[in-house]
Amino acid sequence: MDIKKTDDTYVAHTYGRFPVAFVSGKGAKLYDDEGKEYIDLSTGIATNVFGVADDQWVAAVTAQLGNVQHTSNLYYTEPCAKLAQLLCERTGMKKVFFSNSGAEANECAIKTARRWQHLNYGGERPVIITLKNSFHGRTITTLAATGQDVFHTEFGPFTEGFVYADPNVPGDLTRLAEENPCCAVMIETVQGEGGVNPLSTEFVAEVNAVAEKHGLLIIVDEVQTGNGRTGRLYGYMNFDLKPDIVSTAKGLGGGLPIGACMLGERVQDVLTPGSHGSTFGGNPVCCAGAVSVIERLDDALLEGVRQRSEYIIIQLNGSKGVKSISGLGLMLGIETERPAKEVISGCLERGVVVISAKNKVRLLPPLNIDMDDLKKAINILKEELAK
């Protein structure tokens, strides 16, 4: 079968694919349909946290697959209960709603905030402040929450009730909170799709001050920053932040589709029976994978993430063709002198998988990537950056 031709004929053209079809892998190694080997510094966009076909993860997933693959949310399953407990114990949040994706986790966060203001303010504070340059998903509502016009073209009308603060303009968030009847502020601690930009400590202080003054909920979108990616279990743990709602997905299932919306004390009882749901949400196979991921993200593993991050930054800082490096942990953006696209294609050609974020090269390697693989890949990347 000609995979590329068949795909181009029958799959909707929403993606600009690279001319590669991966068929297998192990850890940070990937193999294409011609047997060529690659080192993967992108992990399926921050999903395969322990790389490809990790033994412990495969064992956890296949054990559950052989028990029961799905039951619906009309019944209890152990992996679902266990994952919710783990997430609450590790974050201090009180309840978890499970979905299948990041966008749906954010939909839950938004619905929770909207219902909370109905219960507490009679529906008079519907506005949610999000940030310019943010990304929250592809559904109509999460697109409305996304503060980048490029994603909005020709898909309107959108869900109402979002305004966008510029995190680089001091006082902008404060002004919007004063001008609008708000219930929540929604942020990414590192804007991933926006170009791998961490929030400044000054802006986080403004978020806290505004939330305190106006009684706003703090929603943190940890879809990309979550699950160890930034060197802490969740990105907000790098900052002085106490979120009321945390959404996550991508890395949570270790490569299976699952999202979670974690609810703190103030909102833990907002969603009641029948008010929200998802057929596949909390699927036991996905939850079994996620349990095995979260259980392994201990202090030693997170320390390893920070060490690998430091290694990459030291290697690339001041290296030829590198203008700047941004990000946290193993979520890094490289501002390049060559067009990022050329660097990415050059790397792929030479067996190193990296992706873009706006005009940057983005690195999202496996959190436990073997140091030899990492060194080899970074050397090739450095050569491509310097061309």
Ligand X SMILES: *Cc1c(COP(=O)(O)O)cnc(C)c1O
List of residues contacting ligand X (CB under 6 A): 101-103, 106, 135-137, 188, 192-193, 221, 223-224, 249-250
Helix-, strand-, coil-residue percentages of the chain, each rounded to 5 = 40, 20, 40
CB of 129 to ligand X, least distance (A): 16
Nearer to ligand X, 148 or 346 (CB): 148
Nearer to ligand X, 64 or 247 (CB): 247
Cα dist. 199→28, 129, 133, 227, 277 in Å? Answer: 29, 15, 12, 18, 32
Distance of alpha carbon 249 from alpha carbon 34, whole angstroms: 32
CB of 141 to ligand X, least distance (A): 12
Distance of alpha carbon 248 from alpha carbon 228, whole angstroms: 11
CB of 28 to ligand X, least distance (A): 21
CB of 103 to ligand X, least distance (A): 3
Peptide bond into 243 cis (omega under 30): no
CA 234 to chain centre: 10
Cα dist. 144→72, 151, 211, 241, 324 in Å? Answer: 30, 9, 21, 24, 31
CB of 36 to ligand X, least distance (A): 28
Strand boundaries in 29-172, DSSP class E: 29-32, 37-40, 95-99, 127-131, 162-165
Nearer to ligand X, 261 or 322 (CB): 261
Nearer to ligand X, 220 or 263 (CB): 220
β-bridge mates for residue 360, sequence order: 335, 357
The residue sitting closest to ligand X, measured at its beta carbon, is 102
β-bridge mates for residue 127, sequence order: 182
Q: What angle do CA 309, 146, 121 make, to 5 degrees?
A: 115
CB of 59 to ligand X, least distance (A): 25
Nearer to ligand X, 39 or 260 (CB): 260
Structural contact between residues 114 and 150, judged by C-beta atoms closer than 8 angstroms = no
CB of 383 to ligand X, least distance (A): 29
Distance of alpha carbon 162 from alpha carbon 113, whole angstroms: 12
Nearer to ligand X, 61 or 103 (CB): 103
Nearer to ligand X, 105 or 374 (CB): 105
